[in-house]
Amino acid sequence: MPVNISTYQPFNLSLHLADNALILGHRNSEWTGHGPILEQDIAISNIALDLVGQARNFYQYAAKLMNESSVDGKENITEDTLAYHRDAWDFKNCLLVEQTNGDWAKTILRQFFFSLYQFYLYEQLQNSKDSTIAAISEKALKEVTYHVKWSSEWVIRLGDGTNESHERILKALDDLWKFTEELFIPADYELEAANKHVGIDPSLLKSKWFQKVIEIFEEATIPIDNLSGLHSIGFYGKEGKHSEHLGYILAEMQFVQRAYPNCEW
């Protein structure tokens, strides 16, 4: 049966962080065997593994807290429960990470936008008063530092490359830019965590993120005249309001667990 976690408000921050990493990790895994060259096929697959590893750590922590807070002490929520037995409206990932891969340029730009956000987020969360969130964030920051380096180099390579690669990165920008605002609009659970010095208000990260994006775009010869503001699309994945893409992801990712409950590898 699907798990309803709406009443477990204290755990939503950890679920949000896990959902972001899991969904983007799954998206990246779709490139395995299809990368433009072998080296980059391996690179995007390794980044997918890093993200799934981050997701596991945050899911394990959320499950631990849920089980400890159970009224009758009989809850048996696991990382698999949270990944495979929730419906789309229970997922709290940002819309950006669930967008389709498109071509290589779109995948690269999506990774750059999100990895840069993760870098500044984990940089702050490693100082969280919650020692577990701090430890997971500190470890993940080392991985994300590489993700930012790899994706930013590719943005520059595509933007300042051939006419075709330049046009493709511009098309990717047109497709993805509208999803970046959500990263910096705090959900209630993010503000609650920030007030308790467990999390961080993501709106405080926007200035650094935007400044770095502009720096990379200038080197990539990507026009920045029309990037004066972040424009909302009107609904947010953090609140459980997703695009149609998440349903397709979950249908594929959750099928085996739902068809054969509690199966183990």
* CA dihedral over 146, 148, 151, 153, signed as positive or negative: negative
Q: Domains plus CATH for the chain? A: 9-259 (1.20.1260.10)
Specify the higher pLDDT residue, 90 or 3: 90
Instruction: Look at residue 220 and tell me whether its pLDDT is greater than 60.
Output: yes
In terms of pTM, does the model score above 0.75?
yes
* CA distance linking residue 93 with residue 97, whole number of Å: 7
* CA distance linking residue 77 with residue 75, whole number of Å: 6
CA neighbours closer than 13 Å in the CB half-sphere of residue 224: 12
The tens digit of pLDDT for each residue in 97-151 reads 999 999 999 999 999 999 999 999 999 999 999 999 999 999 999 999 999 999 9
Q: How many CB atoms lie within 10 A of CB 214?
A: 13
